Amino acid sequence: MKQLDLRFMKEHESKKQTHQLQMMEKLQQTLTKRIAEKFDDVQVRVRFSSSSGYDLSGFRGEEKEKFLAYLEELWNDSTLLEEY
């Protein structure tokens, strides 16, 4: 199984936490949809953690490089969280 795991550190202020949670939910929906358009069977997980970052698993060789390039393209897309 291919998986993208995105981790975010939790905001300390409750108002910022609410905003962050909404952003993370939208990111989960949008990334899942957009990634499925180009790659099969990729599970996307967006969650809180003690450190920010991402992990990939289940990708091999050239497919991993293509996925990372697409992920960077998505991350730099100003419309990624449109309607948020």
The answer to whether residue 80 is domain-embedded is no
Q: How many domains are there within the chain?
A: 1
Whether the pTM exceeds 0.95: the reply is no
Strand order in the sheet with 42-48: 42-48, 2-8, 53-57
Report pLDDT digits (tens) over 18-45. Answer: 999 999 999 999 999 999 999 989 999 9
Q: Determine the structural domain holding residue 33 and report its residue range.
A: 2-75
Contact 5, 54 (CB under 8 A): yes
Whether 43 and 4 have beta carbons less than 8 Å apart is answered as: yes
Tell me, what CATH number does 57's domain have? 3.30.910.10
Mean residue pLDDT of the chain comes to 93
Please report the pLDDT score of residue 81 as a whole number.
78
Residue 10: DSSP 8-state: P
DSSP letter assigned to residue 41: S
Task: Evaluate whether 31 touches 73 at the Cβ level (below 8 Å).
Answer: no
